[in-house]
Structure 1
Amino acid sequence: MDTEIISVDNHVGNFLSYQRAVDILKNGGVVAFPTETVYGLGAVATDANAVQKIFDAKGRPSDNPLIVHIGNKKDVDKYAVDVPDDAKKLMDAYWPGPLTLVFNKRPGVIAENVTPGFETVGIRMPDHPVALELLQKLDMPLAAPSANRSGKPSPTEANHVFTDLQGRIPLIVDGGRTGVGVESTVLDMTTVPPTILRPGGLTREMIEELIGHVHAESEVSKGDAPKAPGMKYMHYAPESPLYIIQADEKVIQDAVNALHNEGKRVAVIGPDEFRVKVDEADWYFSVGPLHDQEALATNLYGAIRQCDLTEADIILAAETEWTGVGAAVMNRLVKAADGKRYLL
């Protein structure tokens, strides 16, 4: 299969480009497209055969559920039942945006392999002009996980998608680099109080300011099916082992020296300010100013992918605080590292 890339301008009509994508989707195919978080790989969510092509292209475990993307808020009632008032408040405030809400699903509408084994469905309305234009022209729901090979860093640029899925999908709609950089927050509205299943681009603080207390992220134990994407399997991992390390330039420099003494080549992912002093690292990838969590979120996946272009034996990634969007960043780093920390 040849994989075509078509570029669209976020602010100018591109009728033929969108029509090409719409035609593929309506005919049971898959298309990669940008959202404000990461690039997604979409298939019509009511077509089980089309949805299966997502799992096949990504090599994704079949018990890992998919998020349904819609182009209009009012469409929620087509796919969900018992939508609580707090969810309506969140939709009014934060849709379109990086927030996925989990509801009891309307029976017999969404394909069963979108939410394998569950009577719930995660729905979001993305805040990206290309994604919204595509969804509104299609006028159908799209099941869409990140457009990467399963377990690898999520794509924030069209060329990331091409690297992972060339020959596996027919079309990538290139809308430029994504903005938020980490996936949406997943909030389960079927529990009281609601539960954050995955931290993401919308912070817990923002949610609680609007609807009050919510439970923090809940992890599933081994053997349990994940209720939301990113809860069970190792994700976002580069080719070389990644370790989380304290965000202290002396600690990182000492770690680089120790690893060099073991004959290892080291790549470091860290803030702009450390680049000069951590000068003995074989590769250093800056992800923005120290304590700027939004910049870190935007640049994290790109930095992890850059590490794959090196010959590093080990990757050290500086941690950040578990607050605000930093909670989403650390969630991704912990999974990318499979929980490993580097300690001298």
Structure 2
Amino acid sequence: MFRSFPAMAFRTRCPVLDPAAFCFRPSTDLRNPETVISEPQAKVTLFEAAELLRNDEVVAIPTETVYGLAANAFSPAAITKIYATKNRPQDNPLIVHVSSLAMLEEILPDHRIPPIYLPVINRFWPGPLTIILPKSDRIPAIACNQPTVAVRFPSHPIARALITQCGFPLAAPSANSSGKPSPTIASHVISDLDTKIPLVLDGGQCYFGIESTVLDALRSPPAILRPGGVTFEALKEVLGMEELQVYKKHFVDVQLEMTPTTPGMKYRHYSPEAQVVLFEKPIPLGNGLVPTIDNTNCKGFELSTMVAMTILETDIESLRSSIAHEVEQLLSAGNRKFGILRTSSSSLQDITKNRGSTFKSSTEFTVVEKFLGSALHPEQVAHELFKCLREMDAQGMDVILVEGISEDREGLAVMNRLRKAASRIVTM
């Protein structure tokens, strides 16, 4: 049982650190790499952060995925502060972050990494991949009384250096108010947690912009419990992952949702203040369409027959009609500020390009567009998604309209986040 702590008001500091000031040698050694810090002030700031963490405080840190709210993974008192600061449900597990394989082995019951994970670790660590492992007694109720714990080895130099400086693993969920879009720049953290935490380490914008993939290879066949920065396609290429499944795509497990082993499974997440309306349409594979990377084709498909062309044109027109109908309904409900998050191929452009011919209503409304990237490059969309959701909130949008993308590669993680953020999903 966690003890409660009185809320404290801090003067939150946000020093800027250059990730290039941190390196590790030998660079290929994951067992016990040495940290080298080239800037004296960066070293002072890192030591300050480590001292706060040793004293059971929480510190916001950059990772390659999103900013994390870090605390000593061995300290129940520190873990309590994570939950209290974020207003996070206490049955929502945390991920433990390590900076070496030696540190990982110290928190395993028999100090031995399960062999099934070794090829995955060799390929993807350090990086945006979390693995489910047996939990030892060194990890307290952080795991919500589960026999397993989620662990990852981040690649961000600041996160790695800080964990090494502390000498203990860090528990770190996203550094935001629970349920809101994850922070990908330091100002997002300040927006949510200013005065609630003593320190934010500003390491610039996160590289991936979306959380880590969570892999459970203790089960057979192995399963992705949460899609993220490492794709399903990439994992399937690794020895032992040939039969890999994706939760809610290939199987469901009610018990797993009732007592989750990893974040992102039970609660609504990633939601801005504005309503999010997600438009989804099935990708018409098998109807004469062949995937292509030709940027001249707005849907990312090469049409092999005239029949296929007709199907695609009908699909696009149907989507446009659905978008127009949904906007008319939202206008009648009193919404006047519409945000559009679009890719280069989005039918949502019609709202601004052809407003007069698209809508029957004469009601005036404001539209703000933000470009997420090419639908053919889902890693671009992942990088921009949370940042753009937060920017729409900052501009006071009533509704954010988003058109779904293919679930290929990083698109699987993008669609997972959008479905969880959505107030309403319009399916074609």
Both proteins in one fold, TM over 0.5: yes
Q: Determine if the alignment matches structure 1 residue 316 to structure 2 residue 401.
A: yes
Counterpart of 1:131?
A: 159
Shift of the alpha carbon at 1:83?
A: 3.0
1-side partners of 2:326 and 2:367: how far apart?
9
Q: Which moves more between the two structures, 5-14 or 164-173?
A: 5-14
Give a deviation string over 1:197-254, Cα, whole Å, max 9, x none: 1111101111111031112115554971222100010000011211111475835762
- Note if contact 1:246-1:252 (Cα within 8 Å) is conserved in structure 2: no
Q: What CA distance in whole angstroms lies between the structure 2 residues aligned with 1:105 and 1:118?
A: 8
CA distance in 1, matches of 2:19, 2:143: 31
Q: Kindly indicate whether residue 276 of structure 2 is the aligned counterpart of residue 242 of structure 1.
A: yes
Structure 1 residue 4 and structure 2 residue 38: aligned?
Answer: no
Identity among equivalent pairs (%): 36
**Matched residues in 1 for 2:327 and 2:402: separation?**
15
2:335 paired residue number? 264
Counterpart code for 2:245 = H
Q: Where do 5+ consecutive residues of structure 2 fail to align?
A: 1-9, 22-38, 282-315, 356-365
Aligned counterpart, 2:425: 341
1:176-195 superposed matches below 5 A: 176-195=204-223
Please point out which of 186, 199, 216 is paired with 2:246. Answer: 216
Shift of 1:163: 0.3
Q: Counterparts of 1:76 and 1:142 in 2: how far apart (Å)?
A: 11
Instruction: Find the aligned partners of 1:16 and 1:98 in 2 and give their Cα distance.
Output: 27
Q: Which amino acid aligns with 2:220?
A: V
Following the alignment from structure 1 to structure 2, what is the Cα–Cα distance between the partners of residues 342 and 316?
10
1:161 aligns with 2:170: no
Q: CA deviation at 1:76?
A: 1.7
Task: Identify if the C-alpha distance between structure 1 residues 140 and 206 changes in structure 2 by more than 3 Å, giving closer, same or farther.
Answer: same
Question: Aligned match of 2:50 in 22, 32, 38?
Answer: 22
* Structural RMSD (CA): 2.1
Counterpart selection for 1:110 from 128, 139, 143: 139
User: Which residue pairs with 1:101 in the alignment?
Assistant: 131
After superposition, what is the alpha-carbon deviation per residue over 1:294-331, rounded to whole angstroms, capped at 9, x for unaligned? 00000000111112123332221110112211111111
Segment of structure 1 superposing worse, 146-155 or 201-210: 201-210
Question: Match for residue 235 of structure 2?
Answer: 207
> So what's the TM-score if we normalise by structure 1?
0.93
Q: Distance in 1 between matches of 2:135 and 2:13?
A: 34
CA distance in 1, matches of 2:125, 2:395: 39
Worse-matched range after superposition: 241-250 or 172-181: 241-250
Q: Which is worse superposed, 254-263 or 87-96?
A: 254-263
What are the Cα deviations for residues 158-216 of structure 1, in whole angstroms up to 9, with x where unaligned?
00000000111110000000010110000112211222111111011111110311121
Q: Which residue of 1 aligns with 2:117?
A: 87
Q: Distance in 1 between matches of 2:96 and 2:124?
A: 16
- Larger Cα-atom Rg: 2
Shift of 1:278: 3.6
Question: Given that residues 103 and 168 in structure 2 are in contact (C-alpha distance below 8 angstroms), is that contact kept between their aligned partners in structure 1?
Answer: no
Comparing 207-216 with 307-316, which one deviates more in the overlay?
307-316
Which residue identity does 1:245 align to in structure 2?
F
Letter in 2 for 1:89: P
- Which deviates further from its counterpart, 275-284 or 189-198? 275-284
Structure 1 runs of 4+ with >4 Å offset? 273-277
- Equivalent residue number for residue 147 of structure 1: 175
Counterparts of 1:251 and 1:150, CA distance in 2: 35
Count of equivalent residues: 341
Q: 1:191 is matched by which residue type in structure 2? A: R
SS state at 1:341 partner:
strand
Quote the Cα distance in structure 2 between the aligned partners of 1:255 and 1:168: 43
Mark the runs of 5 or more structure 1 residues left unpaired by the alignment: none
Among 380, 387, 403, the alignment partner of 1:302 is: 387
Q: Greater shift after overlay, 218-227 or 288-297?
A: 218-227
Return the offset for 1:255. 4.7
Is 1:33 the counterpart of 2:41? The answer is no
SS in 2 for 1:242: strand
Secondary structure of the equivalent of 2:405?
A: coil
* Alignment match, 1:289: 374
Matches of residues 42-57 of structure 1 in structure 2 within 5 Å? 42-57=70-85
Q: CA deviation at 1:260?
A: 6.6
Q: Which amino acid aligns with 1:143?
A: A
* Mapping of residues 38-77 of structure 1, within 5 Å: 38-77=66-105
The 1:316/1:135 distance shift into structure 2, 3 A limit, reads same
Is this contact kept in 1: 2:342–2:349, CA < 8 A? no
- 189-198 or 117-126, larger mean C-alpha shift: 189-198
- Secondary structure, counterpart of 1:283 in structure 2: strand
Measured at CA, do residues 27 and 130 of structure 1 come closer, stay the same or move farther in structure 2, by a change above 3 Å?
same
CA distance in 2, matches of 1:206, 1:294: 14
- 1-structure distance, mates of 2:230, 2:105: 23
Letter in structure 2 aligned against 1:237? S
